[in-house]
């Protein structure tokens, strides 16, 4: 994909998007341009599907593949957990371990565990563990100190 970017000092700003095929990447760009950047594109059974970010309970990296879990869907996302966090720049998403990112807004309950870990129950009754590496940062987040 060829990208031409030109900064102007006067006149009206404009964007032109030219594409041959409506791919997930083009869909994502269109969503951003249409102020729908709250949507995440992924694949279910080879079909491109969009969901709202706030539907995501958590994301998990398994065998270098990233999956987003909602109450009733599992989407395969492109990229890595790190690229997801950089792309969305949303404080609602918190890295809870090397392979999991949780949506803090979808946490139902918390329970302290030994070794400074935290058991998190998500809205879908899924139990996830915040590893001790990330637990102190999570506690700061809960206190509003992030």
Q: Average model confidence (pLDDT) for the chain? A: 88
- Return the pLDDT at 143: 83
pLDDT of 123 strictly over 90: yes
**Inside any domain, residue 119:** yes
pLDDT of 5 strictly over 90: no
Domain count across the chain = 1
CATH number at residue 103: 2.40.50.1020
Residue 103: give the domain boundaries: 40-142
**Inside any domain, residue 13:** no
CA distance 43 to 29: 17
Mean pLDDT of 26-51: 79
Mean pLDDT of 12-34: 79
Cα torsion through 66, 103, 55, 108, rounded to 10 = 130
What pTM was computed for the model?
A: 0.72
- Return the pLDDT at 31: 67
CA distance 79 to 88: 13
**Of all helices (H) and strands (E), which one includes residue 29?**
helix 24-33
**Inside any domain, residue 18:** no
- Return the pLDDT at 145: 74
**Inside any domain, residue 66:** yes
Q: What is the pLDDT of residues 82-109, one digit of tens each?
A: 989 988 877 889 999 999 999 999 999 9
As separate numbers, helices (DSSP H) first and strands (DSSP E) second, the chain gives 3, 10
Q: Each residue of 74-110: b (16+ CB within 10 Å) or e?
A: ebebeeebeebeeebeeeebbbbbeebbbbbebbeee
**Inside any domain, residue 20:** no
pLDDT of 55 strictly over 90: yes
**Inside any domain, residue 111:** yes
How many CB atoms lie under 10 A from the CB of residue 61?
18
pLDDT of 37 strictly over 70: no
């Amino acid at each position: 994909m060829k990208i031409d970017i030109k900064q102007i000092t006067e006149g009206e700003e404009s964007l032109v998007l030219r594409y041959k095929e409506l791919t997930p990447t083009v869909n994502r760009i269109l969503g951003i341009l249409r102020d729908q950047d709250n949507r995440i594109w992924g694949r279910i059974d080879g079909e491109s599907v969009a969901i709202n970010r706030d539907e995501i309970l958590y994301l998990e990296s398994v065998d270098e593949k990233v999956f987003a879990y909602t109450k009733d869907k599992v989407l395969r996302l492109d990229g890595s957990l790190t690229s997801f966090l950089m792309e969305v720049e949303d404080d609602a998403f918190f890295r809870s371990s090397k392979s999991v990112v949780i949506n803090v807004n979808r946490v139902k309950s918390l329970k302290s565990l030994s070794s400074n870990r935290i058991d998190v129950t998500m809205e879908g009754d899924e139990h996830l563990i915040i590893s001790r590496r990330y637990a102190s940062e999570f506690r700061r987040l809960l206190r509003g100190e992030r």
